[in-house]
Structures are given as C-alpha cells and as structure tokens.
Amino acid sequence: MSLSPRLLALATAVPPHALGQEEVVERVKRLFGRSVELDRLLPVFVNSDITRRYSTVPIEWYDEPHGWAERNRRYLTGALDLLEIVAGRVLDHAGLAAGELGGIVTVSTTGVATPSLDALLIERMRLPRNIARLPIFGLGCAGGVVGLARAADMAAALPGKPVLCLVVELCALSFRRDDLAKSNIVATALFGDGAAAGLLRCDSTSQSPAIIATGEHTWPGSLDIMGWDIADDGLKAVFSRDIPRLMQAELKPAVDDFLARQGLRRADVDRFVCHPGGPKVLDAFEEVFGLEPGALADARGVLRDYGNMSAASVLFVLERMLARSGAEASAWGRALMIALGPGFTAGFAMLGER
C-alpha cells in the first residue's frame, strides 16, 4: 500500500497591526458619517462575534483613498513578509531545512502577483531551484482546504520529499471608504489578515495525521454567491445573504456523497474542522453536522480572535485543535476539514490515521 501524505507541521502568523472591533466601529462612523443607512448596518459589527483582527497596514491607512495599484503593492509586500515568517516557522517546527523541499503550493485570492508569490519566495528564502511550484488563485475561503489537498497530491507524487503549503490572505486591504453598500460594511466587520503554512510528506515513521482523502463539490447556478468584483480602486466583496440557507439546504448531500466515496457516513466523523466565515456560517455547519449549538468552539475562537481571514482561517482552526487535542493521528480519529468559497464550491479533506 502506498503511503499517505502526513501533516508534519503547521504554523500561522498575523501582521503587526491589531484592530479592536470597537476601534473599527468608531473609525467607520467617522469615515462614513452618521446616517440612517449606516445605523441600520452597524449591528453587523456586534453580531460578528469578533473581538479583534489584524491588518498589514495601520488603521490610519484606511482614512485615505487608495487605488488598485497601491493596494496591490501593499498586498505584495505584506503577503511576502508573512509568508517568509510562516514558512520559516513551519520548517523549524518540522526540523527541516528549506533546501530539502520538493514542492510548494501557494494559495491567495486577495491580490495579484506575476511572477507568483512562490517564485518571489524562492528568491527571498533561497528555496531549491528545482522545486515544483503550484500557485492557486480564485478559491477564496475554500483555498485553505483545497490548497492542502493539492499539496497532498504533490507530496504523493514526490515520495520522501516535503511539500510546503502556504496560504496568505490580506482581506482588510479591500476596505472601500466611499462605499456604503451592505457587502462592504459586512466585509469591514468580518475581514482580517493572516497566513498559514503546512508541511506534508509521505512518511512511514511520522505519527502525525495523514491526509486520507480530499474532494470538492461545486453547485450549479451559483457563480454569483461569493467572489470579487474588480473596481478602479481595488477588489469589491460579493456576498450573498443566501449562503447559510444554501448550506442548510444543500450541503448535507454534498458531504454525504464525499463521505460515501470513502465508505463513511457523517456518524463516522469524530471531529469537524470548519472555516469560520461568520457566526451564521458556523451555526449552519453545526446544524448540517447535527452538533449542539456552539459545539464548533475552536472555529468560533478563531473568528473571535482573528476575524475571517478567508483561506487561512481553517488552518488556524486546525492549529488550535491540534494544540488542544495532540498532534498524533491516534488521538484524532477522523477529522473532516471543510470550507466554502467562490464557485460556489465546498472543499473537503479527511485527516486521521491511514
């Protein structure tokens, strides 16, 4: 039997500027001015259950208008800084050198980089010149799970070689100071910046969780559920209020189909590692999986402490669960990772002992 890729190590990082939710609310009031429309939208900040988030730029930066070119320059600088930090951490955790890497998967949807972030990181960190590269753009919040799945595929194709999965999202840079649309206010209430890294390798000696199976499901007629619109001053968030309803109505069959292909049912899953897109999203996950309200405590804790960091968030949740429950596969049983993103797509990954 071929070896399954194992998650040797995991690391996360956030930028230096902490944004308290109350501070953000006061800033929003000052920038937009008080109005009936804003007063109607302000409860979303309290209802987000977020205490603080982190930003790659100080809060004063958001006071001034910024065009697409400047925002993307900030994205490139901030993303590379975070990726270098988190890549260094995960290599240290695993006791490996950068020169040992066989592949790198880089996931991000909050800016544009050509050459891609992985190529830029090769120069900065002196990664191997023959390293296999896979940059991934456009998956949004689903990118952490799907990126981990692609890294597992690459590790399986490179037996014995470690593969680095990097995820970075600088969501806060999308704030639009002249846009009182509900989608912009919701994004302003939810989004934070962060990065995560996972290191995978097919390893017969490691006791860490294996990536047992991966999969995806994309719903028909759902392209307008979530994504970005491109405006002159940057990326503009697209959210549908139907996301929780769609999850409650249609996620169960997709999950059941994925599990059935592994010979499993929902009752066979011991843990759920869910993307904390917002309180209503977590409520919907708990309903779909038949969990008690509030059962996804680690996901809710990540949302509270970091906000929604898009693709990076689910790996923050996984890190928190590993720290609390132990990193050995024998202590995990089966864990289902799940995140939803533009497409509208669900990404699945099953972790556990092979």
Catalytic (active-site) positions: 141
Q: Which residues, other chains included, contact 85 with Cβ-Cβ below 8 Å and sequence gap of 6+?
A: 13, 195
165 phi, psi to nearest 5 deg:
-105, 120
Pairing between β-strand 271-274 and β-strand 234-239 as defined by DSSP bridges: unpaired
Angle, in degrees to the nearest 10, between helices 143-157 and 313-325: 70
Cα 32 from Cα 29, distance rounded (Å)? 6
Cα 252 from Cα 16, distance rounded (Å)? 39
From residue 211, how far is each of 106, 149, 164, 180 by CA, in Å?
18, 8, 14, 43
Rounded to the nearest angstrom, the gap between the alpha carbon of residue 135 and the centroid of all alpha carbons in its chain is 15
Task: Find out whether 329 and 208 touch, Cβ atoms under 8 Å.
Answer: yes
Other Cβ atoms less than 10 A from the Cβ of 138: the count is 14
Structure tokens at 237: 């968030």
Cα 221 from Cα 316, distance rounded (Å)? 31
Structure tokens at 155: 């590790």
Maximal CA-CA distance, the chain: 65
Which amino acid appears at position 283 of this protein? D
The DSSP letter of residue 4 is P
| DSSP percent split of the chain into helix, strand, coil, nearest 5 | 45, 25, 30
Other Cβ atoms less than 10 A from the Cβ of 275: the count is 34
